[in-house]
A and B are shown apart, each in its own frame.
Chain A
Amino acid sequence: MNDRAEQAFRDAFAEHGAEPIQTVRPRRRFDARWAVAAIVALIVLAIPLALYQNSRRAEPVAATPATTQPTPATAELSGLSVPKEGWKWVSRGDVAVQVPQAWGYSDYLRPDWCAWGDEPTRPEGPYVATPPGPVLAIGCPDVGPEVVRMHVAFGAPTKDRMPTEIKMRAAGSGGVWVVLELVATDDDRALAEEILATTVTFERDASGCAPQVPFTSTDDRPDPWDIRTAAGVSSVGVCRYTDNAYSPETPNLDGSRLLNSEEGAALVAAIVEAPEGVSGNPEECLAGYNERAGVVLRVADESGVHAVYLRVEGCRNLGWDDGVTRRKLTDACRPVFAHPPIRFDGGSLEASENCGA
């Protein structure tokens, strides 16, 4: 029997427990050397940053439309110009930048897990930092600036991201920064400047991804397109979005990747095989939680470019949706998250078992 007091507790907890809480935030321990380095870096950066932001107000970074013909592999999807010879585009939010083709991705300085006591493996070469995950750096060893490897990262610099010299450029909703190694050469600095000079904001990145997720709730569906009719798949853009319920105006593209014809066709075939219906357990739902998170596939085939949604977070309407049919989660989603920067960030156990690494 519910009396008034019981109901009051239930109402209070239902209201407050339903408030979306971002998953556990990244946190990194620092030793004194890092703190000193951070303070010095803050001071050193304060003046140029202020000067830069003033100049940015006067001359905002403009969106850069394609200025040359896209390469055939990305003709249907890319909204950016062809990158320089030997370079490639990487993007997050509404900002893209070119890096040398050989650069890979790494979560070296912000790893998912350190709880096992293992020192993260230092990348062999420069890299692009993968976006932070939901639970990071638990029980990690302290590391100093001497182990920092040159890398590109996105977003506004924070003190725990400035252990060594950095070059940065504000753009769009955030910025791009190049972190240099403790002992940086003039060539390193020149490369950093060359990278930053390619910074653009975009409406579609090199994988055809928009900065903002196109849906606002798990009930939203893409324009209808029966994925069974796909023919001659030439490429598939994989667009990963995180939930941005607290700041829905902020671009939430977390990363993107382009599947070639063979990979894309295999993925489409696997989606078609998934059973109709939805995965998830709505009874576990917290209202408003992870409504804007998911993956948008941009499937380019003979008939054009079509959106297919893949939802793995939250607990409602999980699975694939081509706007005609909803399909349940199967391990067809595993290749979607198989390579960085596309990451599986959690959700139900069902989603984790099907899509997780």
Chain B
Amino acid sequence: MGQNFVQWVTASQRAVLSFAYLLCGDREEARDVVQDVYSRLAGKYDGITDGIDAYARRSVTNEVASRRRRPGLVTVPLDRDHPAPDSTSRVADKVLAWRLCDELPATQRAAVVLRFFEDRSFAEIGDILDVPESTARSHVHRALASLRGRLDQEAIR
């Protein structure tokens, strides 16, 4: 059984790390989050026979949300700055989208990541986040509406 867990972690951690990073935007925090999640799952793995990947993503989402609620948590990124965007509209759009993510509630951000990074259906997003499909759809649509507003503002500058 233990070996199964090791194999699952080995196989899943790249994708789970990416998911965590897209939710929190910080590599160090993403590694912390994933390690915490794996640590907790280690004791439960044998009891979760179905949907372990979805469970892990839900756990990551909850962990990020929980960290956002804790007061006084300040993370200082040590990595290099990202290169400045070029002048094309597409670059500007994705920069705006990435900035907007920082303002989204954790669950809404998770829904957007699952939709547009992992190409999940709304039903799958609902299963992963443990919310009704309609709520998953609403999360994504609200985020899109917010971004459209930002894009419109940018266009009239």
Task: Identify the A interface with B (CB < 8 A).
Answer: 3-17, 19, 21-25, 27, 112-113, 115-116, 134-135, 138-139, 284, 286, 289, 345-349, 352-353, 356-357
What residue in chain B is nearest A289 (Cβ atoms)? B14
Instruction: Collect the chain A residues with CB atoms within 8 Å of residue B22's CB.
Output: 13, 16-17
Complex Cα–Cα for A9 and B140 (A): 11
Task: Decide if B38 touches A138 in the complex (CB within 8 Å).
Answer: yes
Q: In the complex, are the beta carbons of B98 and A4 less than 8 A apart? A: no
> How many whole Å from B113's CB to the nearest CB in chain A?
6
Contact A21 B31 (CB under 8 A): yes
A13 CA to B30 CA, complexed, in Å: 15
Residue in A7, A116, A353 whose beta carbon sits within 8 Å of that of B7 in the complex: A353
B61-75 Cβ-contact flags toward A at 8 Å (1 or 0): 000000000000000
Minimal Cβ-Cβ distance residue in B for A284: B15
Bound complex: CA of A75 vs CA of B5, how far in Å? 42
Number of interface residues of B (CB under 8 A): 43
User: 7 more A-B contacts (CB under 8 A) besides A25-B35, A115-B43, A356-B10?
Assistant: A8-B151, A12-B94, A12-B97, A13-B117, A23-B17, A139-B42, A284-B15
Partner of A21, one of B2, B27, B116: B27
Contact: A135 with B9, CB < 8 Å?
Answer: yes
| Closest CB in chain A relative to B141 CB, distance in Å | 10
Cα distance A10–B25 in the bound complex, in angstroms = 15
**Is chain B's interface secondary structure helix, strand, loop, or mixed overall?**
helix
> With A12-B98, A24-B38, A115-B42 given, is the CB distance from A5 to B9 under 8 Å?
no
Evaluate contact between A286 and B18: CB separation under 8 angstroms: yes
The answer, yes or no, to whether B144 is at the interface (CB within 8 Å) is yes
Q: Which of A11, A27, A349 has the most chain B CB atoms inside 10 A of its CB?
A: A11
Given contacts A8-B93, A9-B116, A21-B27, whether A352 and B11 have CB atoms under 8 Å apart is: yes
Q: From B16, which residue of chain A is reached at the shortest CB distance?
A: A24
9 nearest A-B residue pairs (beta carbon) = A115-B42, A11-B94, A8-B93, A13-B117, A8-B97, A346-B10, A349-B11, A12-B97, A9-B116
Partner of A5, one of B3, B14, B101, B147: B147
Q: How many contacts A-B (CB < 8 Å)?
A: 127
What are 17 sample pairs from A and B whose C-beta atoms fall under 8 A apart? A4-B148, A5-B151, A6-B144, A9-B112, A9-B143, A12-B97, A15-B98, A16-B22, A19-B27, A21-B14, A25-B35, A115-B42, A138-B42, A349-B7, A349-B11, A356-B6, A356-B7
Asked if B131 CB lies within 8 Å of chain A CBs, one says: no
Query: Contacting B31 at CB < 8 Å: which of A7, A17, A22?
Result: A22
B18 proximity list for chain A (CB < 8 A): 17, 21, 286
Which residue of chain B lies nearest to A140 when distances are taken between CB atoms in the complex? B39
Contacts of A9 in B (CB 8 A): 94, 97, 112, 115-116, 143-144, 147
CA distance A17 to B16 in the complex (A): 11
A134 in contact with B39 given A5-B148, A6-B144, A8-B97 (CB within 8 Å): no
Closest residue on chain A to residue B11 by CB atoms: A349
C-alpha spacing A23/B18, complex, angstroms: 10
Q: Which residue of B lies closest to A21 (CB)?
A: B17
- Closest A residue to B43 by CB, please name it: A115
Contact with A along B28-62 (1 / 0, CB 8 A): 00110011001100110000000000000000000
